[in-house]
Amino acid sequence: MKSLLGLKIGMTQVIDESGTVHPVTIIQAGPCYVTQIKTEQKDGYTAVQLGFEEIKERRLTQGQRGHLGLLKSSKNSSKRKTNTNIPAVRHLKEFRTRRIGEYQVGQVLTVEQFEEGDRVDVVGKSIGRGFAGVVKRHGFRGGPKTHGQSDRQRAPGSIGATSGMSHVIKGMRMAGRMGNDRVTSTNIQVIRVDPERNLIAVRGSVPGAKGSLVTIRNAAKG
């Protein structure tokens, strides 16, 4: 399992040794902490839970502190209940894997697990566009701009059926909320890896706005 959580920094260009210019997206990936390991006997499946983006402990709820082992013991208020060295983190996410024996709670994962030339999938939420019409949302051409249709230029046209069906078909493309959906960019090449600054550069664009949370994992179709 090669998986990390990160923040999308933005896009830039990278020039390789042959002089070719590559458009890349810079992602601040990790360090991620192993906060929990799911087993088949206890949970019914095997997975590793990762935590990302350190924050102040007071910003967590009591349940979140207990899950991360940050609650203090009632007998000795100066000691933690567990000694996992896991800091307070903002994001938690599970990754399915059968190799849970390779991980332990408190382990730190960084971008060093990726190498230049690797193929990865990047998952994020697309930029929200709010309520949009069919021309912007689905690329409709709109109605004719003549023959008296002065107010039909960006209209969807008829959405109904004939009397044989007499209702709107389920899944009809219409106006509505656009964006803010889970999107996966598949089989993207890793161009650069900077372990010192926890940065990874992948070829092309990835979903999400600047500063949004993304997930990097080894390509499923690589």
**Under 8 Å CB-to-CB from 11, ≥6 apart: which residues?**
23, 24, 25, 26, 205
SS3 184: strand
Give the mean pLDDT of 27-41: 92
- pLDDT tier, 82 (very low <50, low <70, confident <90, very high otherwise): low
- pLDDT tier, 81 (very low <50, low <70, confident <90, very high otherwise): low
Residue 191: phi and psi, rounded to 5, are -95, -45
Structure confidence at residue 211 (pLDDT)? 94
CB atoms inside a 10 Å sphere around CB 25: 23
pLDDT for residue 77 is more than 80: no
Structure confidence at residue 76 (pLDDT)? 55
Give the mean pLDDT of 58-84: 73
CB-based contact 3:216 (threshold 8 Å): yes
- pLDDT tier, 123 (very low <50, low <70, confident <90, very high otherwise): very high
Distance in angstroms between the alpha carbons of the first and the last residue of the chain: 14
Structure confidence at residue 128 (pLDDT)? 94
Structure confidence at residue 84 (pLDDT)? 67
Domains present along the chain, CATH in parentheses: 3-129+187-218 (2.40.30.10), 133-159+173-178 (no CATH)
pLDDT for residue 133 is more than 80: yes
Torsion of CA 69, 3, 43, 182, to 10 degrees: 100
